[in-house]
Amino acid sequence: MFHPSGPTLKDLTLQALSSTEHGYDLLAPRFDLTPFRTPDAIVQGVVDVSMRGGPVNSAIDVCCGTGAGLVGLRPHVTGALVGLDFSAGMLAEAERAAARVGGATFVKADVLTHPFAPQFELATCFGALGHFRTRDQAKFVAQVHAMLLPGGRFVFATAERVPITSRTWWLYRGFNAVMRARNAVLRPPFIMYYLNFLLPRATRVLTAAGFDVDVQHGAIAAPYDRYVVVVATKR
Ligand SMILES: C[S@@+](CC[C@H](N)C(=O)[O-])C[C@H]1O[C@@H](n2cnc3c(N)ncnc32)[C@H](O)[C@@H]1O
């Protein structure tokens, strides 16, 4: 659909009929040929903002997928760099990608029940915020908070708002409606809802969880400059 060697419509349908975890296992070998892999310009903008104070000693990329964020982070992390994801297939691809730039450590876990004590200076998350239902967002943010050291930062990109008059709004809201209908009748669910962690909501959820929120505009290059970088610092 997106690339001659990429997944077909049938592949994407099979993915959406699986659980989120198994869907990504199926997609993993060709995930980097889809638009779902976070573009380098977005990774770079988040990394640039994260490293304004210099390199960090420890970092984790939550929902690391095939490793887009880890590859960007690797040169700026002096100690432990961890990729967390619940798809074994995605982790296998990430391991290969990270090996080419100096390596990382990988943990297969659901971020909502992860095993980490507070130990990271930095946590990032790329392209996966839609995988948490609105009702699970507070738990997701609390879990990221729990893995950070005091003063540690959770840094990610999101859109400030998407106007209801835009094509994007209707496209994504349409997708969400289909996903809700699918999840009402099929088990296990495939959790993916667009536009559900835009800046106003993200700020509310992060603040309630014990983060101070700062927003950086203009950090991400065109054509992705509609995204802002959120820096949430653990109080
Ligand atoms: C759209 S991909 C993004 C991958 C990568 N971060 C990127 O930007 O290219 C979403 C990833 O989140 C992972 N994921 C979704 N929900 C998760 C959860 N609750 N715990 C751990 N990983 C999760 C999926 O397995 C998948 O690898």
Per-residue model confidence as pLDDT tens digits over 27-65? 999 999 999 999 999 999 999 999 999 999 999 999 999
Question: What is the position in ligand 1's atom list of the atom closest to the CA of 111?
Answer: 20
Cβ 127 under 6 angstroms from ligand 1: yes
Cβ 95 under 6 angstroms from ligand 1: no
- pLDDT lower than 50: segments of the chain: none
| pLDDT for res 8 | 73
Distance of CA 207 from the midpoint of ligand 1 (Å): 23
Residue 78, H or E segment: none
What sign does the dihedral 222-140-116-152 (CA atoms) show?
positive
Distance of CA 38 from the midpoint of ligand 1 (Å): 11
Superfamily covering domain 40-161+198-234: Vaccinia Virus protein VP39 (3.40.50.150)
Distance of CA 63 from the midpoint of ligand 1 (Å): 4
Q: In what order do the strands lie in the sheet with 81-85?
A: 105-108, 81-85, 59-62, 120-125, 148-159, 227-234, 211-216
Residue 116, H or E segment: none
**Domain locations in the chain as residue ranges:** 1-36, 40-161+198-234
Cβ pair 111, 143 in contact under 8 A: yes
φ and ψ at residue 225, rounded to 5 degrees = -75, 0
Q: Which residues contact 22 (CB under 8 A, 6 or more apart)?
A: 87
| pLDDT for res 37 | 97
Closest residue by Cα to atom 13, ligand 1, is: 63
